Amino acid sequence: MLEKTGVPTEQDLAGVIPPRERLARGPVAVIECFQRIPCNPCYTACKQGAIREFADINDPPVIDFDRCNGCALCVSKCPGLAIFVVDETYSADRALVKLPYEFLPVPARGQEVDLLNREGRVVGRGRVERVQNAKVQDRTLIIWVAVPKELSMEVRNIKVGDCQ
């Protein structure tokens, strides 16, 4: 179905979502890369050695969730913008999703934004906690957005209104 719609199915996602125990321990990368394509910058970007070296450059990435510390360095290095970091320990009822963002306007810290799912549908409101824009990210911003915990595996984009 992914090949028809561009949206991964629950079954696709089941293969990449970290185990519950790992999510309970803090931030971790979720790599939503389901197709064999010739690409490996996530491996070269990872300083933790959490993304396994590619035997064949076409292999989908394999991540060691125990080594991943959720630093998000890979998020802006992935040419497909397919990596997200999820922190389910952020607060009692909120999870933090760090997502790649290459649009205008850039949200401000503290701004309330619409939360979008993988189909671009609004699924709730969230608060921007931080906007990362270091030189090494090369204009792919990383937005830290606090979302209702039950939406941590749904929210993959934000929509920023024109004013605060």
- Chain residues that interact with another protein, rule: CB under 8 A: 2-8, 32-41, 44-45, 56-58, 77-82, 102-104, 106, 116-121, 138-140, 156-157
Nearer to another protein, 43 or 144 (CB): 43
Nearer to another protein, 92 or 136 (CB): 136
Task: Return d(Cα 5, Cα 134) in angstroms, integer.
Answer: 33
Task: Write the CB contacts of 38 (distance below 8 Å, at least 6 apart in sequence).
Answer: 57, 58
Q: Least separation, in Å, of the C-beta of 107 and another protein?
A: 12
Task: Return d(Cα 92, Cα 104) in angstroms, integer.
Answer: 31
8 Å CB contact between 118 and 76:
no
Kindly state the greatest CA–CA separation across the chain.
Answer: 48
Nearer to another protein, 81 or 129 (CB): 81
Q: Least separation, in Å, of the C-beta of 12 and another protein?
A: 10
